[in-house]
Amino acid sequence: MMMRTKLLLATGIALLAAGPVCAKTPEQIAAAALAAAPVFDGHNDVPEQLRDRRKNVLGDFDFRDTTKTGDPATGIGAMMTDLNRLRAGKVGAQFWSVYVSASLPEPQAVQATLEQIDVMKRVIARYPADLQLCTDSTCVEAAWKAGKIASLLGMEGGHSIGGSLAVLRQMHALGARYMTLTHFKNLAWAESATDVPMAQGLTPLGKDVVREMQRLGVLVDLAHVSEKAMLEVLAVAKAPVIVSHSNARAVNHHPRNVPDSALDAIKANGGIVMINFFPAYVVEDTRQYNARRSGEEARQKALGTGNPDAVKAAMAQWDKDNPLPTGGLADVVAHIDHIAQRIGIDHVGLGGDMDGIDNTVKGMEDVSKYPVLFTELARRGYSQADLEKIASRNMLRVMKGAEAYAKAHQGDAPIENATTF
């Protein structure tokens, strides 16, 4: 006992001599979290930029640095994503959105989706030292260990499968690992958040789409769907779902955001909501601004019938007098706070929507800015363990849950639907 007492006293004296233990700064907490768990972002639209800017012809496209891809003469801004900035942003895994317009006829949408899968695979193959194509969580973790950015493919909108479960299976075979059920328009089988309400959020075919996705191991994405559709999906789903790039409707009332009723169901499902950085979905003042601007534009068109130049001049003046409010990091944190307080930190992730939006909240202008957000979260009291969950541990858990369900049901017969032509 005497020996132990002497040892404890000596240890205490040594600690006192060494001085007080310094608490980590928010920057240090954020850095430690991102070193242990790099960002796994749920939605980036680089493939869309390749289609719009380059018609999917890569040629001399340099993905290491896209900061000079803007064209001020035409008002086109530079891309928000490149390898240098992904590295600076501590991004370790990225779902690349193979988005195509919901206005395309479905057969064309299927072709365009195939083209987008192709172009993103070609980009990934060009940079083998930096990017690794992945289709499961095991590959994601292996890519991290190898110092690469795990690159996964997600389809944005059910029009990408043309109403066909057979096409869904083929998209899965090509590597697609999530599908957003709708985009801005309704489908015959699913209701969008931004279109005319349907009799059902999800038709019998829509329920079969969800079931077949989960049998295959394709994550069901509820971004863009209506509250009614969200709840009907969650009543059918047996594996965790994602909301790849949306926010909390209690903070910003945009219909694209997730209401508390769906948040509660997502908690029960074990899913995740991945926070978006587009001001119209983040900042309620921005949503209200957009409504005012639409009203003013309608007024000017009514007053200036037959004189489009006058309407254009009037709106230019209105824009000058009424700058767009874009918000900042505090507005993003408000959504994280609400979801974490409502359903728990285990259900929060990030889906910035970079290169799919024309502006962001201040402070999150491109993919290099994630450490800034994590530092702000640390400053507000989020622990390193919390930050690791938000960065990637939550998303990995969801992926593994969906994969486990698919493995358990790999012997189930494919769900069939009849061809339409």
Quickly list H helices, 127-226.
Answer: 137-145, 165-173, 204-216
- Cα–Cα nearest to 344, from 270, 250, 237: 270
The DSSP bridge pattern shows strands 149-156 and 131-133 to be parallel
Catalytic residue among 106, 331, 353, 376: 353
Cβ–Cβ < 8 Å for 248, 337: no
Cβ–Cβ < 8 Å for 415, 166: no
Catalytic residue among 48, 156, 191, 227: 156
Q: Which amino acid is at 410?
A: Q
Give the Cα separation of 209 and 229 in Å (integer). 13
Angle at 335 between CA 332 and CA 340, to 5 degrees: 125
Catalytic residue among 41, 82, 212, 245: 245
27 a catalytic residue: no
Cβ–Cβ < 8 Å for 329, 53: no
156 a catalytic residue: yes
Q: Write down the residue that tokens 């079931």 correspond to.
A: 211
172 a catalytic residue: no
- Cα–Cα nearest to 413, from 234, 211, 218: 211
353 a catalytic residue: yes
Q: Write down the residue that tokens 């890569």 correspond to.
A: 58
Catalytic residue among 41, 45, 232, 403: 45
347 a catalytic residue: no
Written as six digits, the tokens of 11 are: 């240890």
Catalytic residue among 159, 224, 254, 347: 224
Catalytic residue among 48, 106, 159, 183: 183
For the annotated catalytic residues, the residue numbers are: 43, 45, 156, 183, 224, 245, 353
